[in-house]
Amino acid sequence: MIQFHGEFKINNSNKILKEHGLDDKGFVQKYIDNEVLKRCSKFLPFRTGALMNMGILGTVIGSGIVAWIGVKARYLYYGKVMEGPAPKTVTDKDLVFYGGPQRGAFWFERMKTSEGKEIINGAQKLVNGGN
């Protein structure tokens, strides 16, 4: 009878995740966060560029959370007019957005539908070792 004794050693799962950029704040998450900010920019309401800056200031690249901060960001995202003295009341009236047909409310959801697969494909390339 033939006997075989062997060992199979694999790296710790955390080390494997880190090697592929999938660890907490890894390069894959940084890529995704950057792409979300970049790709959302053409969907954002744009008058002065302040909303774009709110996204940059509200996001810690690599955290997995992309946030547009500021008092106007929320009502711009939902696209509703607010009225009255502070605290303002949200109305049923839709905001009118300027600056191109893609700009307006629900920019993240619309970007995700339009370009989300491209972000995922880019992340997959990074995981696979590509650039």
Domain count of the chain? 1
In this structure, is residue 10 part of a structural domain? no
Q: What is the mean pLDDT of the chain?
A: 89
Neighbours of 35 (CB within 10 A): 19
In this structure, is residue 44 part of a structural domain? yes
Task: Note the pLDDT of residue 99.
Answer: 78
Task: Note the pLDDT of residue 107.
Answer: 96
Task: Note the pLDDT of residue 16.
Answer: 78
pTM for this model (two decimals): 0.81
Domain extent, residue 98, equals 24-127
In this structure, is residue 98 part of a structural domain? yes
53-92 pLDDT, tens digit each: 999 999 999 999 999 998 789 889 999 998 988 888 889 9
First to last CA, the chain: 50
Average pLDDT over residues 108-117: 97
How far apart are alpha carbons 29 and 96 in whole angstroms? 34
In this structure, is residue 7 part of a structural domain? no
In this structure, is residue 12 part of a structural domain? no
Asked if the model's pLDDT at residue 100 lies above 90, the reply is no
